[in-house]
Structure 1
Amino acid sequence: MSSSTSQPAATATAAPTAGKSGARLAVIYGSVREGRFGPVVGDWFTGVAKQHGSFAEVDVIDLADHELPLSFPAYGSEPPPKTARVLEELSGRLDAADAFVVVTPEYNHSFPASLKNAIDWFHGEWQAKPVGFVAYGGVSGGLRAVEHLRPVFAELHSVTIRDALSFANAGDLFGADGLPKNLEGSRLAAKGLLNQLDWWADALREARAKSPYGAAA
């Protein structure tokens, strides 16, 4: 487990103090494959986020629960009713969030197609909001997936958090109880990420309230 490095929470300890902003956080599970390990990592992190105390709501969005087609409707046309209902639900939940955490594995040096597909269906919902990352995988701990996600979210006018949680060889780092074996180090790293996320969520929410973000027009 790491925060941007192979050492536990090396940089997260310098994070800003949480502002208790009452922001709404959406935690997005990016993998949809059968037998995935993502919910183990995501459920633990979500529990830490709820205990953190800074977020008024923590909404888990598991992409495996939502059927988003790979084919997009032609410009100017409407999606089929079933797809429209899914999009309406997800749009509402993403729009309501003040901050995001993406839980992602690493597939072939990058992130899953399911995650890119979900990101691309939406636009304004991401803008002027912070995005944090919890990655897991083999020896790289999913960090290459995170580095590929950063420019994607930059294009969507999101602000990505510098520190990321990374679990290398994740299956060996979690016990049968679903908790990290290095529980204290993992909690400290998660707290550092959440502190940074809370600071940015508060700052950007205040900025959006003062003046609507220009790129949304």
Structure 2
Amino acid sequence: MKNRFAIIVAGGSGSRMGASAPKQFLPIGELPILMHTIRRFRSYDADLEIIVVLPAEQIPVWEALCRQYRFTEPVEVVAGGQTRFQSVRNGLAHIRSDDGLVAVHDGVRPFVTTEIIRNSYETAERTGSAVTCVALKDSARLLHADGSSQAVDRTRYRLVQTPQTFQLPLFRQAFRADEQVFFTDCASVVEHAGFPITLIEGSYDNLKITTPDDLAFAEQKLRTPA
């Protein structure tokens, strides 16, 4: 089995949450969101090398939270950049292996399952990439510049989630590019470098916690027996 790594990007400010603390540090089930996320990856592989990317000014806060909650999961903490692209590249620079697989995941997606993580690594090992996604539930329309819109076939579209997992050599090559405004996720960077993207099935429960409603849903989900 190839070496496996995970870069967990946690650069949120909490502005949409209306909270004073960054959203990744808000507690659900009596534990900060980011800690739940780390434990999901640790449950997949106890020896997985996990790199957590945080804004430099938030690292002391994270260290204090680890002491407060007695959180001792072994992770390497790296200072991020001004954008997600820069933060992922900073995390990538701390992976010392030239070969293997790397998964990139949002720090505020704490409900990713072991099955999704495993499928992500196994698919990327076979095909080069594995990008988690879900189908659209609702009807969709394309909005035009003049304000008009038209119906589109929703079966041809997917909502992209994380983890997004890639073979390390192609991922390093992709992230040598100059940053572009259309780099909205790792898949867009890898696609820009000329590599194909393989989609895998995600889960509607694998939500990204960004609003108070998301936070309330997360609390309820933790309280509800599986």
With structure 2 as the length reference, what TM-score do the two structures score? 0.36
Q: Structure 1 or 2: larger helix share?
A: 1
Larger radius of gyration: 2
Higher RCO by CA contacts (8 Å cutoff, separation 6 or greater): 1
With structure 1 as the length reference, what TM-score do the two structures score? 0.37
Q: Structure 1 or 2: larger strand share?
A: 2
